Structure 1
Amino acid sequence: MRLVFVPPMKPKLVKSPPLGDDWIHEIKLDGYRTQVIIEAGEVRAYSSSGADWTKRYLGIVEAARELEVASAIIDGEAVVPGDDGRPDFHLMQRVIQKDPYAAILGAFDILHLNGHDLRDIGCKARREMLYSIVKPGTRIQFSEALPGDAASIFYLVDQAGIEGVVSKRAHSVYRSGPTANWTKAKSYKHTDLDLVGVEREAGKPAIARFVEPGTHHYVGAAVITLGREARERLWAKVKAKAGGAPPSEAMRKKYPATQWVKPGLRARVQHLRGEEFLRHGSVKELLDE
């Protein structure tokens, strides 16, 4: 029977990695979840939704052909390294459709090997099998487990500006869909953004809407968590700049409760790393014009 795409196992988002000895911790790679299927000399690569992305990952596909296996299903994250060697998600978005040799695969699990379904085998044992077939120095690299306790690992990852940590129960079986046996804890970053609107409704937290500096590219909303004095200063500035236009006319209809403001307001926003739009965002500081 021909091997087919297996919907991926999806980690639960948590605030910090779980404690205890029964967990494997890895760096959360900032790219696109990818599944590679090897069968009878043929290699296919799929996105997390099952779309065939083989032509986008020719470098990974060629590396997969060099693995000494008859058949396999490998789970991983396709990433494009930036100038500093770390995965650069925004660079990946720009080049992935232009350069099929830009990406490498961080392989972290194996679901099938040489005619055997491995999904009922524990995570640690599956990873040992995966490690045994991956060749160092190719476009498929094994995602190593991080040594040390969870709290120290997460601190060091945050300090290094890495997206976060994925933790997996060592003996967990592989099941498609959301699971608490895998978790992901993301670190936060601060970004200075242009404020284009605010939304204040009774009984709801006040939020601010933002675009990338000097552009009309909308990046999302963040809860306004400023202290009383800073908040009053913000309201005064919003009033003075009332009457601005939204980044697009469609947004006026989509966010009818938003008061749009003229250019000139900037704020520092805390938000999760590795997200295209603001997620878990909060306004930390109103910046001087």
Structure 2
Amino acid sequence: MTKPPRQPSQPLLRKTEAPVRSRPRRPRDPAQPQLPFDPMPDRIEPCLALLKAKPPRGPDWLFEVKWDGYRVAVHIRPNDVRIITRGGHDWTDRFPAIADAARTISIGTAILDGEAVVLDAQGRSDFGALQRSLGGRGGKQASGEAILYAFDLLYFDGHDLTRMELSGRRHLLEDLIKEGDGPIRLSQEVEADGDALLAAACAHGLEGIIAKHRDSTYRSGRLGDWLKVKCIQSESFVIIGYEPSALARGGIGSLLLAAYQGDTFVYVGSVGTGFKERDALELRRMLDTLKTKHAPVAVDKKGVVFVQPTLIAEIEYRAWTDDGKLRNASYKGLRELQDNAAIYKLGK
């Protein structure tokens, strides 16, 4: 490949808490019309997976395990590594092991697309464990346990790969990320029957699978080039209150949840399971700072402590009841509003 490009005059990230925004591509230098390098972008809006009930069929689709963590892009330049969240925030310091591993990759410039996760004893991604390792929602501590599962390569050795088909990007990524159990690992692709793979993933307690069209270019947004199929439904809902309990962990009997319907919130039920003691105590502390006398939405319950609709909870559930409530719901953890939380929207 060609030599890596010169360092751009502007730093990758501004020294500020504000997220990085995508910018239009800079034109080539007219004085050097044959310059082979593409400028390295500050940020690329991620390609997102569209939720489907069943896996697609046919030879045009490749499959991966669905990881449950934080979507990040790892930007590698000579003597410089940045880890940028889905929302454009610099979390390099919060994932030190991933950053250190990225510095050892034998490449001048690259952008890796992947998921930062913490694994449980069975090798499954555990979102709650990841949150705890980062100090909880809004916490600022570094996670020494987090690893990166890389599944795409968007920029390589001075070249923009977003216009290349997925199969070509994966070929380069597989050469770049060697197999092993280090802080940066390759998210393995599987050429298999989607239904059989989904059944196997669910049997092993995984969240689900991702299907990707092998000939697709990298297009930002949720356009259907990538699909996700879950074993158990999992979505983000806003917490609007809780039912106190003297017996439950953290004193929380259940959380009251709401989703968007149009521009307003509507009550979609409660969740009373899935709380770990440490999480429940911290959650109760946060909820008590948000108490309000005014119910954010209409709820036909007594003894409820209402809170401002600020905290976003990730909830697993089996189905919806006929009256629009969550069935068999279980609490997974809190989401970072600016990065991963997309509050569930009900159909009209």
Q: Shared fold (TM-score greater than 0.5)? A: yes
Q: Secondary structure at the match of 1:129?
A: helix
One-letter code aligned to 2:126: D
CA contact (8 A) 1:22 1:169 kept: yes
Residues 48-97 of structure 1: CA deviation (Å, up to 9, x unaligned): 01100000111001111111111000000000111222111000001124
Q: Map Cα deviations across residues 161-192 of structure 1 (whole Å, 9 max, x no partner).
A: 111111110010001122111111111179xx
Q: TM-score, normalised on structure 1?
A: 0.73
**In 2, Cα distance between equivalents of 1:92 and 1:198:** 23
Partner Cα separation in structure 2 for residue 40 and residue 249 of structure 1: 49
Structure-2-length-normalised TM-score: 0.62
Counterpart residue identity of residue 277, structure 1: I
Name 1:119's counterpart in structure 2.
162
Q: Who is 1:233 aligned against?
A: none
Change (3 A) 1:70 1:279: same
Give SS of 2:112's match: strand
Q: Contact 1:195–1:208 at 8 Å: present in 2 too?
A: no
The answer to whether structure 1 residue 105 and structure 2 residue 153 are counterparts is: no
2:110 is the alignment partner of 1:84 = no
Q: Confirm whether residue 165 of structure 1 aligns to residue 165 of structure 2.
A: no
Cα distance in 2 between the residues matched to 1:194 and 1:164: 29
Residue in 2 that maps onto 1:130: 173
Q: Aligned in 2, Cα 1:251/1:197: closer, same or farther, shift over 3 Å? A: farther
Residue equivalent to 1:259: 300
Aligned-partner residue type, residue 108 of structure 1: F
State the partner residue of 2:195: 151
**Structure 2 counterpart of 1:86, one-letter code:** R
Q: 2:228 aligns with which of 170, 175, 184?
A: 184
In structure 1, what is the equivalent of residue 58 of structure 2? 20
**Structure 1 residue identity aligned to 2:149:** G
Say if 2:233 and 2:319, in contact at 8 Å, map to a contact too. no
Q: How does 1:226-245 map to 2 (within 5 A)?
A: none
Query: Please, what is the CA RMSD of the aligned residues?
Result: 3.1
Structure with more of its chain in helix, by fraction: 1
Equivalent residue number for residue 222 of structure 1: none
Matched residue SS, 1:258: coil
1:67 and 2:105 correspond: yes
Whether the 8 Å CA contact 1:198–1:260 is kept in 2: the answer is: no
In 2, Cα distance between the equivalents of 1:64 and 1:197?
42
SS in 2 for 1:9: coil
Aligned counterparts of 1:55 and 1:251: Cα–Cα separation in 2: 39
The 3-state SS of whatever aligns with 1:82 is coil
Q: 1:206 offset after TM fit, Å?
A: 9.2
**Matched residue count:** 240
| Residue deviations 1:183-241 (CA, integer Å, cap 9, x gap) | 11111179xx9567799xxxxx99532344696969xxxxxxxxxxxxxxxxxxxxxxx
What letter is aligned with 2:271? F
Q: 1:142 aligns with which of 179, 183, 186?
A: 186
**1-side partners of 2:65 and 2:315: how far apart?**
21
1:206–1:136 Cα change, 3 Å: closer
Inter-CA distance 251–87: structure 2 relative to 1 (3 Å threshold): farther
Structure 2 portions without partners, runs of 5+ = 1-6, 9-39, 135-139, 235-251, 259-265, 305-312, 321-325, 329-348
Note the C-alpha offset of 1:102. 1.2
- Larger relative strand fraction: 1
Measured after TM superposition, the shift of residue 284 of structure 1 is 5.1
Q: Distance in 1 between matches of 2:142 and 2:95?
A: 8
Aligned-partner Cα distance in 2 for 1:10–1:129 = 21
Q: Is the CA contact 1:19–1:150 (under 8 Å) kept in the aligned structure 2?
A: yes
Q: Distance in 1 between matches of 2:117 and 2:60?
A: 28
**Residue identity in the other structure for 1:121:** M
Supply the distance in 2 between the matched residues of 1:51 and 1:99 (Cα, whole angstroms).
14
1:135-164 deviations in Å (ceiling 9; x for gaps): 332211111112420110111111111111
- Please give the secondary structure, in 1, of the residue aligned with 2:315: coil
Shift of 1:250: 3.4
Identity %: 31
Q: Secondary structure at the match of 2:300?
A: strand
Q: Which amino acid aligns with 1:39?
A: R
Once residues 169 and 189 of structure 1 are traced to their aligned partners in structure 2, the CA distance between those partners, rounded to angstroms, is 23
